Amino acid sequence: MKLKLALAAAVVAALSFVTVQAASSGEEKPTPRPEQPKDQAKEQAKEEAKPSEADAAAIRAQAPTYPLDTCAVSGEKLGSMGKPLDMVVDGRMVRICCKGCTKAVAKDKEAIFKKLDEGVVAAQKASYPLDTCPISGNKLGEKAKDVVVGTRLVRTCCGDCAAKVQKDSTASMDKVNTAYIEAQKKSYKAKCPVSGEAIGDGAKDVLYGTTLVRLCCKSCEKGFWKDPEAMIKKIKAENEAK
């Protein structure tokens, strides 16, 4: 009996020693990483999905004259699968129906660019405001070339001038833009879409794609860009009114 009690006491002492050693070893159990709140995760995903400043600028410039109403990849009607997604590839805007088409854009970009180019030419050629080449000044004839810059059409007299536009389109686009403004001014009747004031000497002319917008002053430009689509509808209604 005494032997059994002695053994039991030894076991208890050993266990106590192990417990004390474990407690004094300084080892800490890893603290579980707190889960990210769902709302915070959603906001983070939104931020990551936002385009860069350069891409946002490209989308803003090219969206007004984007020529396709179907997904550049799947061919589905844009909007049929929720809000379309705008991407920028090699400086060009591409609009797709959903995230599932994202990878295919980079893979098939040349075919997509060709589709975009054909759409731009078809949409803008009839109303193109110049009959001369913006590079040489020569008349556009049978050898004229159609060059697409972003989602805008520039027509040149020959292949050599087309190559110059592709290398640097800034000066050519300025001439085309000026021609669009002058052509539309002749029949422009709308008031300032922001202030409602009549257009006077201090007017500010802005192109939304290829559509002229006349503002009563420079200060109204910021107001126009808050909701350009609504402003364009108002302008078109006033210009078409008898």
pLDDT single digits (tens) 18-48: 444 544 455 555 566 656 666 665 555 455 5
Mean pLDDT, to the nearest integer, of 191-202?
A: 95
Average confidence score pLDDT of the chain: 87
Give domain status of residue 232, yes or no.
yes
Work out the average pLDDT over 83-97: 96
- pLDDT above 90 coverage of the chain, percent: 77
**Domain assignment present for 9:** no
Please indicate whether residue 37 or residue 115 has the higher confidence score (pLDDT).
Answer: 115
Is the model more confident about 25 or about 161? Answer: 161
Work out the pLDDT band at 148, boundaries 50, 70, 90. Answer: very high
If one counts the domains in the chain, the total is 3
CA distance 123 to 136: 25
Per-residue pLDDT, 106: 87
Q: Are both 55 and 116 inside the same structural domain?
A: yes
Structural domain range at position 191: 187-242
Q: Are residues 117 and 56 in the same domain?
A: yes
Higher pLDDT, 21 or 128: 128
Poorest-confidence range of 21-25, 40-44, 110-114, 160-164? 21-25
Reported pTM: 0.77
pLDDT score, position 50: 72
Q: Which of 6-10, 29-33, 42-46, 78-82 has the highest mean pLDDT?
A: 78-82
Has residue 53 got a pLDDT over 90? yes
Structural domain includes residue 83: yes
According to DSSP, the β-strands at 152-156 and 204-208 are: unpaired
Residues 118 and 55 placed together within one structural domain of the fold: yes
Among 185, 201, 224, give the residue marking a domain's end.
185
110, 111, 103, 74: which is closest to 87 by C-alpha?
Answer: 103
Would residue 105 count as lying in a domain? Answer: yes
Per the domain annotation, does 31 fall within a domain?
A: no
Among 87, 102, 123, the domain boundary falls at: 123
Predicted confidence (pLDDT) at residue 115 exceeds the cutoff of 50: yes
Average the pLDDT over 116-144 and give the result. Answer: 97
Q: Is residue 100 assigned to a domain? A: yes
pLDDT value for 185: 94
Q: Which pLDDT value is given to residue 30?
A: 58
Q: Place 15 in a pLDDT band, splitting at 50, 70 and 90.
A: very low
Average pLDDT, stretch 99-123? 95
